[in-house]
């Protein structure tokens, strides 16, 4: 398989899917301005007349375009990675999100918003028209609030155990990451939706009721559940940093944000959480 891509463009999603699934393809870089395939100097428009990445050439030589179609093709080719639900409502939900990202966010919002040659007034008009879509970032912030509460609680519950130092560091980092997210939202002029943030905080409090069916009790199983929940949150955070890294051209608002460092830190947090989780599992079931 051959994947035509441009660095930091939306074709990164397919590269991530390949890496995640442990699959491989020949990655052929396309210069987005000249539409030249760097490897051999050929005209990319001979492959995809629209000149858009991602474009995939299958092992049978069939050319497939459009993020939503290519991502699902990769998921189907590598089923063991379980990137997608096989069928049913979950599969429709995946298509819902792929379409939302491709149309409402990518084409509707980001392209006009970051188009350097767009006429005056385009940015303000686009922001006004698509404000509701930006609630997406607010949802992530709500998730970050849950993460902050959860990491603080896990650190407090484990203060006198060997898990304490790791969880203390994690709680501090999660708080700093949340501040980074807030700074990004401020730079884009996005309002922080108080209600959703409060909802995120409340969700964490309610979550306590579910852990082991009692409110304040703490057991080795609570620790495992918390570590797993924290890993889920960090994964969502990592996805957000990576999404922002793919914006092209990179928005001026992100100029002072070190997204690579934030992503690397999230990866480190995931590694640490997995180490602690395995340790907690061994202890709980010893
Ligand atoms: N509808 C296409 C859009 C793909 C797209 O817009 N790709 C951008 C990179 S993020 C591109 O190739 N732009 C080059 C251009 O517009 O000439 C999809 O979802 O795959």
- Contact between 108 and 130 under an 8 Å Cβ cutoff? The reply is yes
pTM comes to 0.56
Q: Which residues have a Cβ under 8 Å from the Cβ of 135 and sit 6 or more positions away?
A: 193, 196
Ligand 1 atom 2 nearest Cα: 66
Give the distance (Å) from ligand 1 centre to CA of residue 247: 11
Ligand 1 atom 20 nearest Cα: 66
What region does 88 belong to: left with phi over 0, alpha with psi -120 to 50, or beta? Answer: left
pLDDT at site 105: 85
pLDDT at site 14: 95
pLDDT at site 199: 58
Q: Which atom of ligand 1 is nearest to the CA of 246?
A: 10
Give the distance (Å) from ligand 1 centre to CA of residue 238: 23
Give the distance (Å) from ligand 1 centre to CA of residue 188: 23
**Rounded Cα–Cα distance for residues 56 and 255 (Å):** 31
Please give the chain's pLDDT, 286 residues, in tens: 999 999 889 999 999 899 888 898 999 999 999 999 999 999 999 999 999 999 999 999 999 999 999 999 999 999 988 888 878 888 888 898 899 889 988 999 888 988 889 999 998 898 888 887 777 667 766 777 778 888 988 999 898 999 999 999 999 999 999 889 888 888 887 777 665 665 555 565 555 545 444 444 577 777 887 888 888 889 888 988 988 888 888 888 889 899 999 999 999 999 999 999 999 989 888 7
**DSSP conformation letters of 249-268:** SPPGGGTT--HHHHHHHHHH
Ligand 1 atom 9 nearest Cα: 9
Give the distance (Å) from ligand 1 centre to CA of residue 253: 22
Q: Per the structure block, which two tokens stand in for 154? A: 């896990």
pLDDT at site 4: 98
Ligand 1 atom 16 nearest Cα: 52
Ligand 1 pocket test target in 53, 100, 110 with most atoms within 8 Å of CB: 53
pLDDT at site 101: 87
pLDDT at site 58: 96
pLDDT at site 184: 87
Residues with Cβ within 6 A of ligand 1? 9-10, 32, 51-53, 66-67, 102, 248
pLDDT at site 209: 47
Tracing tokens 């998921």 back to the chain, one arrives at: 75
């Amino acid at each position: 398989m051959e994947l035509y891509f441009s660095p930091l463009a939306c074709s990164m999603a397919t590269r991530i899917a390949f890496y995640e699934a442990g699959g491989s393809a020949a990655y052929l870089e396309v210069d987005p301005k000249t539409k030249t395939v760097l490897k051999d100097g050929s005209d990319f428009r001979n492959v995809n007349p629209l000149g858009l990445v991602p474009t995939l050439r299958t092992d049978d030589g069939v050319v497939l375009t459009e993020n939503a179609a290519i991502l699902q093709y990769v998921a189907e080719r590598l089923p063991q990675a379980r990137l997608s639900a096989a069928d049913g409502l979950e599969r429709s939900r995946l298509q819902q999100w792929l379409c939302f990202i491709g149309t409402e966010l990518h084409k509707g919002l980001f392209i006009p918003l970051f188009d350097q040659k767009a006429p005056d007034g385009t940015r303000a008009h686009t922001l006004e028209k698509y404000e509701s879509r930006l609630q997406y970032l607010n949802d992530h912030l709500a998730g970050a609030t849950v993460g902050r509460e959860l990491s603080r609680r896990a650190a407090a519950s484990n203060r006198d155990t060997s898990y304490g130092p790791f969880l203390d560091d994690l709680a501090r980092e999660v708080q700093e990451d949340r501040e980074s997210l807030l700074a990004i939202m401020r730079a884009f002029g996005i309002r922080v939706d108080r209600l959703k943030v409060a909802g995120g905080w409340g969700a964490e409090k309610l979550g306590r009721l579910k852990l082991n069916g009692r409110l304040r009790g703490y057991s080795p199983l609570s620790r495992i559940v918390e570590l797993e929940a924290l890993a889920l949150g960090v994964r969502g955070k990592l996805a957000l940093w990576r999404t922002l890294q793919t914006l092209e051209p990179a928005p001026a608002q992100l100029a002072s944000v070190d997204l690579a460092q934030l992503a690397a830190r999230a990866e480190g947090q995931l590694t640490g959480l997995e180490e602690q989780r395995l340790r907690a599992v061994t202890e709980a079931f010893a």
